[in-house]
Amino acid sequence: MTDICIRDGRIAEIIPVAQRREAKARVVEDVGGRLVLPGFVDTHVHLDKSCLLACCRGVGGGLKGAVAAVSRLKQDFTEEDVYRRGARTIEMAILQGTMHMRTHVEVDPRVGLRSLAAIQRLKRDYAFAIDLSVCVFPQEGLFNDPGTEALLERALVGGADLLGGCPYTDSDPAAHMERLFEMAVSHDVDLDFHLDFDLDPSWTHMPDICRLTEARGWQGRVAIGHVTKLAAMEEAAFDRHVSQLLAAGVAVTALPSTDLYLNGRDKGFRAPRGVAPVHVLAERGITTSIATNNVMNPFTPYGDCSLLRMANLYANLMHIGPEGFSRCLDLITRDAARLMRIDAYGLAPADFADLIILDATDEDEAFGSIAPVLMGFKKGRKTFERRAEILACSVKGDPTA
């Protein structure tokens, strides 16, 4: 066991208990030998359309049906409604140990900048517990949706942190990608695309993204989410695209719950897994992450914002045993932080003290059991605490005990 000493919001030193010196700290927190991890990093969430489940019963049609359902609803979104639902979701995430989050926010003529205004308020109001990065994007296209580009420009001037894209919904996917790269370079922001969200390996936009990334000198500043085509490719094609992604410095995020829920519906109960194998990409040097995506809406009618549960789900479907548990934890901590270009992240001296305490004593136990997160510290300041569960009866089988 060790003592973690925190000073001015950063880890000052880590000392084995056997070498413990006389405590001079103003506050001492004894966590009983439980596991300490860096706070979780969620690289891809949609706060603006979370918690819409009650409004969307009976929605069918897979991805297209989900897009259409939200398109109808967001015309009536108000800033206060988005704030309320986003706050509910972000509080769930904080209590599950998330301390950094990238949220994608839809901007188009139907919703205008109302959702963005709400999310920017959330960013300010919850800064004590979580760092929120705001990615504006055109969910329903750019060139087929007049007025969207001007709104995206206003959003970037108004403080959005980065720009997203969704070429598979555009009438001109190639122009969609080209224009968004131009805008990102002009505003000096990173890019995060929704890409290749189906199981047809006969075509892909990955080479276009890689080409544009290298042409614009944006290596290390571009991520692509979903990319479920990677789960359907033959090995030679898979290897070729992996080499392109690695050379271009493009990161990849898997979104297991949504990808499983929406893909392969035409196969019924024989549906394939349909989730990008990001642990394989990581082994080959690509920056990768596992993230939440949607929470209780037509795209994903599930979710409690537990990134640990999401990584556990990924390990299950990829047949990853205990030998790979630590690697999966990296996909929601260290690797995810690298994707978001978060500096001074981890459990080393000089890193920011963004720390969580799990109700477990080692990583394998925590990951395999989806151990509850009991406590969180943002830059050394406690932001939440939940008590460990105990049984009411101390003697088994004795109702009077």
Cα(12)–Cα(208) distance, integer angstroms:
45
Q: Does domain 40-339 have CATH number 3.20.20.70?
A: no
Residue 182's contacts (CB-CB under 8 Å, 6 or more residues apart) are none
pLDDT digit string (tens) for the chain, length 401 residues: 789 999 999 999 998 876 766 656 678 889 999 999 999 999 999 999 999 987 767 666 688 888 888 888 899 999 999 999 999 999 999 999 999 999 999 999 999 999 999 999 999 999 999 999 999 999 999 999 999 999 999 999 999 999 999 999 999 999 999 999 999 999 999 999 999 999 999 999 999 999 999 999 999 999 999 999 999 999 999 999 999 999 999 999 999 999 999 998 888 888 888 999 999 999 999 999 999 999 999 899 999 999 999 999 999 999 999 999 999 999 999 999 999 999 999 999 999 999 999 999 999 999 999 999 999 999 999 999 998 788 887 555 555 54
Cα(133)–Cα(112) distance, integer angstroms:
19
In CATH terms, are 2-38+347-385 and 40-339 the same topology? no
Instruction: State residue 383 phi and psi, 5-degree precision.
Output: -110, -20
Residue 113's contacts (CB-CB under 8 Å, 6 or more residues apart) are 107, 151, 154, 155, 158
> How high is the pLDDT of residue 23?
58
What is the CATH topology of the domain spanning 2-38+347-385? Answer: Urease, subunit C; domain 1 (2.30.40)
Query: pLDDT tens-digit profile of 326-370?
Result: 999 999 999 999 999 999 999 999 999 999 999 999 999 999 999
> How high is the pLDDT of residue 385?
96
> SS3 for the chain, per residue?
CEEEEEECCEEEEEEEHHHCCCCCCCCCCCCCCCEEEECEEEEEECCCCCCCHHHCCCCCCHHHHHHHHHHHHHCCCCHHHHHHHHHHHHHHHHHCCEEEEEEEEECECCCECHHHHHHHHHHHHCCCCCEEEEEEECCCCCCCCCCHHHHHHHHHHCCCCEEEECHHHCCCHHHHHHHHHHHHHHHCCCEEEEECCCCCCCCCCHHHHHHHHHHHCCCCCEEEEECHHHHCCCHHHHHHHHHHHHHHCEEEEECHHHHHHHCCHHHHHHCCCCCCCHHHHHHCCCCEEECCECCCECCECCCCCCHHHHHHHHHHHCCCCHHHHHHHHHCCCHHHHHHCCCCCCCCCCCCECCEEEECCCCHHHHHHHCCCEEEEEECCEEEEECCCCCCCCCCCCCCCC
Tell me the C-alpha to C-alpha distance, in Å, between residue 127 and each of 70, 96, 112, 132: 28, 16, 25, 7
Judge contact between 253 and 290, C-beta under 8 A: yes
pTM of the predicted protein model: 0.95
> How high is the pLDDT of residue 304?
96
**Domain residue ranges of the chain, discontinuous segments joined by +:** 2-38+347-385, 40-339
Cα 305 to its chain centre, rounded Å, is 10
